[in-house]
Amino acid sequence: MNKKDLHSFLIEKADFYENPNFIESDPIQIPHEFDKHQDIEIAGFLTATIAWGNRKSIINSSKKIIQILEYSPLDFVLNHTYKDLKPFENFVHRTFNGNDLMYFLKKLKEIFTKKKTLENYIYLPNTSVSEMQSCFHLNFFKSKHDKRIEKHIANPIRGSAAKRINMFFRWMVRSDKNGVDFGIWKKFKSSQLSCPLDVHSGNVARKLGLLNRKQNDAKAVTELDGVLKKIIPSDPAKLDFALFGLGVNEKFN
């Protein structure tokens, strides 16, 4: 397959998988339960934070979080008391536990009280997305916390592929015209986004000759970004649908 045919193939697959049917089996279904900007942000952020492992398990754990938030994420975050956090004590999703979640909720209360939206808290003008993500990581963990909690938000400067935070950014920034991503973060441009690199998209990218680096890390994201931005300069993260769909649904890797 020559380069032109490969690019056409990837765009075709991205168009095929980017449709509302994608939502039914993906964790993005959780923020899709809401209409309000801040509710979508909170539900999306907490879901993306625990998005590793089996997708069914991720969805089930996210539904438990939303249930304890009384199906009103913003209202709970802004108005909860210490007593309201008690139901989270026994929450566990892999290495993310109830104490971790309680820290996240306390921090979100601070963020939404002061900045009103996560977009306002994260966005920095004239700064790359990876730099913003690193600043977000540092700011989010400025309050007193258990050091182990820091692993739940990636810091690209430390070499992480930052799959979950890049996925969250994709959800919030990309256009909603196909009914999957939300497009509610207007300060960002889709051209700034990176592909949420994971084992599936990484293996497919290597199989197709889009990625040479063997590790799924920050350097691999930079390498893949360079290729995907040549295919769709204005919206490289759209091709995540192609790489992920080929890997998960077509066992291409």
Kindly give the confidence (pLDDT) of every residue in the chain, 253 residues in length, as a single tens digit, with 9 standing for 90 and above. Answer: 789 999 999 999 999 999 999 999 999 999 999 999 999 999 999 999 999 889 999 999 999 999 999 999 999 999 998 888 888 888 999 999 999 999 999 999 999 999 999 999 999 999 999 999 999 999 999 998 899 999 999 999 999 999 999 999 999 999 989 999 999 999 999 999 999 999 999 999 999 999 999 999 999 999 999 999 999 999 999 999 999 999 998 888 5
Q: What is the pLDDT of residue 252?
A: 80
Q: What is the pLDDT of residue 253?
A: 55
**Got the DSSP string for the chain?**
--HHHHHHHHHHHHHHH-SGGGGGGSGGGTGGG--SHHHHHHHHHHHHHT--S-HHHHHHHHHHHHHHTTT-HHHHHHH--TGGGGGGTT-EETTEEHHHHHHHHHHHHHHHHHTSSHHHHH--TT--HHHHHHHHHHHHT-SS--GGGGGGS--GGGT---HHHHHHHHHHHS--TTSSS-----SS-GGG------HHHHHHHHHTTS---SS-SHHHHHHHHHHHHHHSTT-GGGHHHHHHHHHHTS---
Q: What is the pLDDT of residue 170?
A: 98
Q: What is the pLDDT of residue 111?
A: 98
pTM attached to this predicted model: 0.96
Tell me the CA distances in angstroms from 179 to 10, 28, 164, 208, one per residue in order: 20, 11, 20, 28
Q: What is the pLDDT of residue 220?
A: 97
